Amino acid sequence: MIGLIVLALLGAAAAAPTDDRIVGGYECTHNSQPWQVSINIGYHYCGGSLINDQWIVSAAHCWQNPYSLMVILGDHHIWMHENTEQYMSVDAIYWHELYDYQTLDYDIMLMKMAHPATVNDWVRPVKLPTQCPTPGEMCMVSGWGNIYSDSVFNPFELRCVEVPIVSFEDCDRSYPGLITDRMVCAGYKEGGKDACQGDSGGPLVCSGTLQGIVSWGYGCAQPDQPGVYTKVCALMPWIEDILARYS
């Protein structure tokens, strides 16, 4: 998630996803999140989620020239080869035509890999939603981002943290006037657990279904400042349209 400090920095922060990490979590069980993707530009840059054997969904603010990217599937220790990884080049990227880099509304993009992935125990698509999440529902966020809220340490192993969905009303109270129908909040009122630097674009998975994409927030794991995620259920018509037109 982008760690937005003040509203005036919203646009600049959106252009540089450097404040997104898993805070207050733990090392994921190996390959327990088989849809997790690392978007790599010579180093891990953003997360993503495999949604079928050739398509990945991520945050639009993670966009880079597709020919400069490699996506890594089936990874756990980001600097160690574990014989489970699949390395893929990217053929095309489609971001939402209404994406606003200042407000991060419609913060979603689809990446088409040059070749289909091999689906196995370590690489498997996540389910897409048929309904929206409910407040209080527990969800899993994962990523290789920073693990501290007040300093920087990026772990080598994939990290996980569980956070509850926050109601629209409570989310709007935390970020007055900034939350749209394409956003959903998740986190604890007291803070302490959140996504942060390097987790941008990664999955928020509830009961095995992708309900959010790590997008933004004020800092990381702060009290009364839940993480803000792109609300996947609200953007399913766009996802289905892109897949139908370009698959």
Catalytic residues: 61, 107, 200
Q: Across the chain, where does the E strand assignment appear?
A: 2-3, 26-27, 36-40, 44-52, 55-58, 70-73, 86-95, 109-113, 138-143, 159-166, 183-186, 203-206, 209-217, 227-231
- Between CA 164 and CA 69 the distance in angstroms is 32
Positive or negative torsion for Cα 5, 146, 83, 125: negative
Structure tokens at 246: 């370009």
With residues binned 3-state (H G I as helix, E B as strand, rest as coil), the percentages for the chain, rounded to 5, are 15, 35, 50
- Between CA 202 and CA 195 the distance in angstroms is 9
Give the residue among 242, 238, 240, 231 at the shortest CA–CA distance from 131.
Answer: 231
